[in-house]
Amino acid sequence: MSSRFAAPLLVLILSAMPLSLAHSDTPNAQGWLLVANKGEHSLGLIDPAEAKQVANVPEGGITGHEVIASPDGKTAYVPIYGNSGVGKPGTDGRNLVVIDLASRKVTGHVDFGHGVRPHCPLFGPKDGMLYVTTELDKTISIIDPSTLKIIGTVPTGQPESHMLAISHDGRRGYTANVGPGTVSVLDLEARKTLKVIPISRETQRISISPDDSMVFTSDQTKPQLAVIDTASDTVKTWIPLPGLGYGSASTSDGRWLVIAVPTVNKVAVIDLRSLKVVHTIDVPKAPQEVLIGPGDKVAYASCDSSHQVAAIDTSDWKVAKLIDAGAGADGLAWAR
């Protein structure tokens, strides 16, 4: 075939290929949306442009509930919690799984040495270390991702330190201690507990505002959200919710806090200037975690019982797409 006809023909063939083939193996410019499918003991990779889960990576053994991606977007880290709920009888996970997102394979492990129920992983914004809640030890474990070695711990002073938020300067950590109903304030540099703040008989989930001035955690005895003033480390106000709250996340501009309300199958939107709920959105059953996508354009809510992730358009606060995920869709992370 003449070369002058070959190039146009190749362009024609490529343009006729289905988009699913063109994009299923490589992330688009946005990156991957990661979801911990705890009911399947696997990590799902969702192409947000196609609104489709394109891969499901088995974690091996007992399940992980949460996930975080490395800052370069190449690696995912999934703590293997166990098969129970917080404070309930069951297996005690003792390792963290490392997954290479390009090959979609488990490439490493971190062994904590004994059962600790590791749960929430976050990267320190300044030191690049991986911080993981290790409930049964009442600590946050610090892992060097370059060596996969535990290099230290931070005591929380409380049992069931389930979720963690880290200030954007990397100096402070805040844990939601479920059974005690408290929040521990941590000095991550000195590796010590500064204060324990009482919230209620039981609390769940935790997040921090973009300016680090407020920390949010959900009362599990009443439909209300505690707002902690980080300057005084005290509860400064309560925000009424349409039901018991769960995971929350702020938009990067500091205007909105989006929170899952699983008891009524809704997501609520809080105006952070007035500290009031201004929108409620119906989503599939049992929303768990909220993640704000790049540019604050989409809020994602994992919906446990429906095996779906709801993609909510922040311009009109309506569900734009429902993305099929795996059983027990829970923890969310973005791999850029």
The arrangement of strands across the sheet holding 234-240 comes to 203-208, 214-219, 224-229, 234-240
Assigned domain for 12 exists? no
Question: What's the pLDDT score for residue 196?
Answer: 98
What range does the domain containing 119 cover? 29-335
What average pLDDT does the segment 302-307 reach? 96
Assigned domain for 17 exists? no
pLDDT at 26 over 80: no
Look up the CATH number of the domain holding residue 124: 2.130.10.10
Percentage of residues in the chain with pLDDT exceeding 90?
Answer: 90
Assigned domain for 163 exists? yes
Bridge partner list, 49: none
Assigned domain for 7 exists? no
Question: What's the pLDDT score for residue 6?
Answer: 40
Residue 300's pLDDT band (cuts 50, 70, 90):
very high
Task: Please spell the DSSP secondary structure of 209-235, one letter per residue.
Answer: -TTSSEEEEEESSSSEEEEEETTTTEE
Question: What's the pLDDT score for residue 291?
Answer: 98
Assigned domain for 10 exists? no
What average pLDDT does the segment 185-203 reach? 98
pTM here is: 0.91
Assigned domain for 193 exists? yes
Domain count, the chain: 1
Question: What's the pLDDT score for residue 22?
Answer: 33
- At 211-243, the pLDDT tens digits run 999 999 999 999 999 999 999 999 999 999 999
**How many other C-beta atoms can be found within 10 angstroms of the C-beta atom of residue 92?**
17
pLDDT at 326 over 60: yes
Assigned domain for 23 exists? no
Assigned domain for 217 exists? yes
Question: What's the pLDDT score for residue 131?
Answer: 99
- At 78-97, the pLDDT tens digits run 999 999 999 999 999 999 99
